[in-house]
Amino acid sequence: MIPFLDLHKINARFEAKFQDSFQSFMDSGHYILGTQLDAFENAFAAFCGTKHCIGVGNGLDALRLILEAYKALGKVKEGDEVLVASNTFVATILAIKQAGLTPVLVEAETTYFSFNTSALKEKISQKTKVIMPVHLYGQIAPMEALLELANTYNLYVIEDAAQAHGAMSASGKRAGSIGVAAGFSFYPTKNLGALGDGGAITTQDDALAAMIRKLRNYGTSSKYVNEEIGFNSRLDEVQASFLLEKLKYLDTDNKARQSIAAQYLSEIKNTKITLPNWDGTQNHVFHLFVVRVLDREGFMKFLKDHEIGCLIHYPIPPHHQKAFPEFSQLSFPVSEKIHKQVVSLPMSPVMDSTQVKRVIEVINRY
């Protein structure tokens, strides 16, 4: 059996270092907001090319806290609109709604699996304050066009970079340093994954970073001094220490993913399979390798029968989710097509050449 993702094998490479880190953590007696978090925040900010990194509880909180901080700073207010792609994972929309803002869904396209920029421009209104591009599957959204629109209409661009750790835009900027701020997830399956939940925010904005640091810790500027209505969302010391170790190998792991993707793209020769678009640059780190197929059930059964793991990211578009009845009458044909056809193939930096060849061989026989 070739698993979709072997997390044990990915993390086994670091087990000895993790044990050393955990022993240091135990010996320190300092379990929250300590030296390991400081070290990781500094290292991840440097990696992304930003002044600030603030570790938080998870990727959903990362996005929400950016919006909450902008509210606290008077940059946005409740009810303001945030433009978001209609084919994103539900967390992007939850963050907007939980912050008291209004998500406005925009039709998708199938090159970047991001906004259709023409449709995006049509959705801009007097109430629009934020564009929230999602670097879906690990590929940088078309940021140059989005930044141009944002500049024209005086909007904030906040990146959902939960799947794009280490990806780089055409301008040479890493995911997390292109917009005014970005939210990352360190969920265990991510390219930079913790051994539990975790997230972070990156930004160049001093005032925004200072506000987020307050909000993640009950709204305090110092112990028991509460200046804001805050939250409890802090990346803990253990996960920070593990992430600090794994960060050293992120670029290498991403290159391994890109190498597998290049082999898939050059050797899968089956007209029933629509392969993803990639120009061969660093703009895609292949958190997921997503193909499209008309008979998804038949294709997935074929893979299962041949012991090839696969998953669907994601089966239900946000406007069809019961949690969002306000979207139920909307129609996004491209997004709906994407959600009906996508299948994620095995993709991992620890896949060996035999496994990769086997996946290709089976798919070509479908």
Strands of 204-279, DSSP E: 220-222, 225-226, 273-274
pLDDT at 186: 98
- Model confidence band, residue 331 (pLDDT cutoffs 50, 70, 90): very high
- Cβ-Cβ contacts under 8 Å for 60 (sequence gap 6 or more): 91, 94, 95, 185, 199
pLDDT at 365: 97
CB atoms near residue 30 (< 10 Å): 12
CB atoms near residue 254 (< 10 Å): 24
Assigned CATH for 7-107+114-247? 3.40.640.10
pLDDT at 223: 87
CA angle at 166 for the pair 165 and 168, rounded to the nearest 5°: 120
Q: State CA 207 to chain mean position distance.
A: 24
| Helices 296-305 and 353-365, axial angle in degrees (round to 10) | 130
CA angle at 197 for the pair 196 and 200, rounded to the nearest 5°: 130
pLDDT mean over 11-30: 94
Q: Look over the chain and give the mean of its residue pLDDT values, rounded to a whole number.
A: 97
pLDDT at 36: 96
- Helix residue ranges, H only, 80-197: 90-98, 117-123, 143-153
Contact 49, 177 (CB under 8 A): yes
Residue 182 has pLDDT above 90, yes or no: yes
Q: State CA 226 to chain mean position distance.
A: 31
Residue 53 has pLDDT above 90, yes or no: yes
- Provide φ and ψ at 229, rounded to 5°: -80, 100
pLDDT mean over 148-170: 97
Q: How many angstroms separate the Cα of 332 from the Cα of each of 115, 291, 293, 329, 336?
A: 12, 20, 19, 10, 6
pLDDT mean over 35-52: 98
Residue 235 and residue 240: Cα distance in Å, rounded?
A: 7
Taking alpha carbons only, the member of 142, 120, 116 closest to residue 131 is: 120
Q: In what order do the strands lie in the sheet containing 289-293?
A: 273-274, 289-293, 342-345
Assigned CATH for 250-365? 3.90.1150.10
Residue 128 and residue 77: Cα distance in Å, rounded?
A: 11
pLDDT mean over 107-111: 96
Residue 322 and residue 263: Cα distance in Å, rounded?
A: 39
- Model confidence band, residue 149 (pLDDT cutoffs 50, 70, 90): very high
pLDDT mean over 261-272: 98
Contact 84, 103 (CB under 8 A): yes
pLDDT mean over 257-264: 98
pLDDT digits (tens, 9 = 90+) for 305-329: 999 999 999 999 999 999 999 999 9
* Element spanning 337, H or E: helix 333-341
Q: Do 7-107+114-247 and 250-365 come out as alike in CATH topology?
A: no
pLDDT mean over 7-32: 94
pLDDT mean over 166-175: 96
pLDDT at 333: 97
pLDDT at 348: 97
- Model confidence band, residue 339 (pLDDT cutoffs 50, 70, 90): very high
Based on C-alpha coordinates, what's the Rg of the chain? 20
Q: Domain-by-domain residue ranges, the chain? A: 7-107+114-247, 250-365
pLDDT digits (tens, 9 = 90+) for 286-308: 999 999 999 999 999 999 999 99
Contact 327, 357 (CB under 8 A): no
Residue 49 and residue 175: Cα distance in Å, rounded?
A: 9
pLDDT at 350: 98
